[in-house]
Structure 1
Amino acid sequence: MRIVLATGNKGKLREFKHMCQDEVVAFSDLLGEFDIVEDGDTFASNALIKARTIYEKLGEEYLVISDDSGISLPILDGAPGIYSARYAGVGVTDKDNLYKLIETMKEKGVRATPAYYTAAIAIVSKYGEYVVHGWMHGDVIDEARGNKGFGYDPMFIPAGFDKTLGELDDDVKKKISHRAQALKLAQPIIQMLKGK
Structure 2
Amino acid sequence: MKLVLATGNKGKLREFREMCEAEITPFSDLLGAFEIDETGKSFSENALIKARTIYEKLGDDYLVISDDSGISLPVLEGAPGIYSARYAKEDIQGREVTDKDNLYKLIDAIRAKGLKRTPAYYTAAIAVVGKYGEYVVHGWMHGEAIDEARGDKGFGYDPMFIPAGFEKTLGELDEEIKKKISHRGQALELAKPIIKMLKDK
Give the shorter-chain TM-score range: over 0.9
SS in 1 for 2:141: strand
Q: Which residue does 1:177 correspond to in 2?
A: 182
State the 4+ residue runs in structure 1 displaced beyond 4 angstroms.
none
Alignment of 1:107 with 2:112, yes or no, is yes
Deviation, structure 1 residue 48: 0.3
Question: Structure 2, unaligned stretches of length 5 or more?
Answer: 91-95
CA distance in 2, matches of 1:123, 1:19: 15
Question: Structure 1, unaligned stretches of length 5 or more?
Answer: none
Alignment of 1:28 with 2:33, yes or no, is no
Deviation, structure 1 residue 194: 1.3
Deviation, structure 1 residue 99: 0.2
Q: Which residue does 2:84 correspond to in 1?
A: 84
Q: Which residue does 2:6 correspond to in 1?
A: 6
Alignment of 1:165 with 2:155, yes or no, is no
For residues 113-170 of structure 1, what are the alpha-carbon distances to aligned partners after superposition, in whole Å with 9 as ceiling and x for unaligned? 1100000000000000000000000000000000000000000000010000000011
Q: Which residue does 1:132 correspond to in 2?
A: 137
Q: Which residue does 1:48 correspond to in 2?
A: 48
CA distance in 2, matches of 1:105, 1:164: 16
Q: Which residue does 1:121 correspond to in 2?
A: 126
State the number of aligned residues.
196
Q: CA RMSD in A?
A: 0.7
Deviation, structure 1 residue 80: 0.3
Amino acid at match of 2:191: A
